[in-house]
Amino acid sequence: MGRLGAHVSAAGGVANAFARGAAIGCDALQVFVKNASTWRGKALDDRAISAFREARAVTAGPGVPAPLPVVAHASYLINLASPESVTAERSRAALLDELQRCDALGIDGLVLHPGAHVGSGEDAGLDAIAAALDDVFARHEGGATILLLENTAGQGTVLGADLAHHGRLLRSVAAPERIGVCLDTCHAFAAGIDLRTHDGYEAFLATVDEEVGLGRVGAWHLNDSLHPLGSRKDRHASIGAGEIGLGAFARLIVDPRFEAVPMVLETPLGDDEQGHARDLVTLRSSSAAEGTSP
Ligand SMILES: [Zn+2]
Ligand SMILES: [Zn+2]
């Protein structure tokens, strides 16, 4: 089974994420390494960094190989495809800051939405992203955190609904080894990929393999979709409660090709804030049921 977990709050210090994750049964975590809705975050001090590393070290236990896989999600404000120079430069600086934070913490991957061209067109947008990535990597030489470009629902002028965009970016940048992908089930489904069927799932993976290589999949986002296939709308639903349905997730989480890949929930928490805990139980019991059938 894949390494199942959730996006957990880093309130009060990013090291607190481990206890929150453990409380709901996470074998992998996603966090924000700064306030995701602001450009500038409070600097990470040495104490916060060592607290994080210590908390991560003790998460290893029976059946949980150390260290716990942890990815971060970059701020939603970042738009490397922006044709507007102030936003473009702010975005580069913000991404550089997030990569530096991730490296200080020893985080495996930083998930980033590729960007939105806001009217300049797909070609110009993708070229801008590639140039920005080259610039940011050049300003952060030797960084170990892999930048995971997410697939998107394709709403508005957002790039990256088509894995061909990821493939083109990988072929354009000077340091493709610093880039991987994060695959979001809700976004794929909203972009027209029918993950409900075996054939739809395998066709999607064939595209991923052709464009970027399955070995570059550094994380999955497990989200059901509130809206139907091809809606191009990015609204997550609880596992099994949306248009994708439980069967697709039961298939994915036992796929041996992704055994070591963190699979994190970004589903609604609900009024009692226990949405992720419930979804983890749903996922794990789905695969138990799957395991009993031939
Ligand atoms: Zn996602
Ligand atoms: Zn989403």
Residues 6+ apart with CB under 8 A from 213: none
- What does the DSSP assignment read for 141-208? TT--SEEEEEP----TTB--SSHHHHHHHHHHSS-GGGEEEEEEHHHHHHTT--TTSHHHHHHHHHHH
User: Helices marked H in 24-139 — which ranges?
Assistant: 46-57, 85-105, 122-138
Q: How many CA atoms lie within 13 A of 201 on its CB side?
A: 14
Q: What is the mean pLDDT of residues 93-106?
A: 97
- Who surrounds ion ligand 1 at CB < 5 A? 184, 221
Q: What is the pLDDT of residues 200-257, one digit of tens each?
A: 999 999 999 999 999 999 999 999 999 999 999 999 999 999 999 999 999 999 999 9
C-alpha to C-alpha distance for 148 and 187, rounded to whole angstroms: 15
CA 294 to centroid of ligand 1, rounded, Å: 32
CATH 3.20.20.150 fits 69-289, yes or no: yes
pLDDT for 131 beyond 80: yes
Q: What is the pLDDT of residue 63?
A: 60
Distance between Cα 293 and ligand 2 center (Å): 32
Mean pLDDT of 64-91: 92
Q: Would the pTM count as exceeding 0.85?
A: yes
Please report how many Cα atoms fall inside a 13 Å half-sphere around the Cα of residue 48, on the Cβ side.
17
Radius of gyration of the chain (CA): 18
Q: Measure 264 CA to ligand 1 centroid, in angstroms.
A: 9
Q: How confident is the model at residue 34 (pLDDT cuts 50, 70, 90)?
A: very high
Report how far ligand 2's centroid is from the alpha carbon of 294 (Å). Answer: 34
Say if residues 147 and 110 touch (Cβ distance below 8 Å). Answer: yes
Q: Are 70 and 28 in contact (CB under 8 A)?
A: yes
CA-based end-to-end distance of the chain: 17
- For 260, the token pair is 């070591």
Structure tokens at 49: 């960094």
Ligand 1: distance of its center to the CA of 55 in Å?
25
The span from the CA of 11 to the CA of 48, in Å, is 12
Biggest CA-to-CA distance, the chain: 57
Spatial separation of the C-alpha atoms in residues 117 and 157, rounded to whole Å: 6
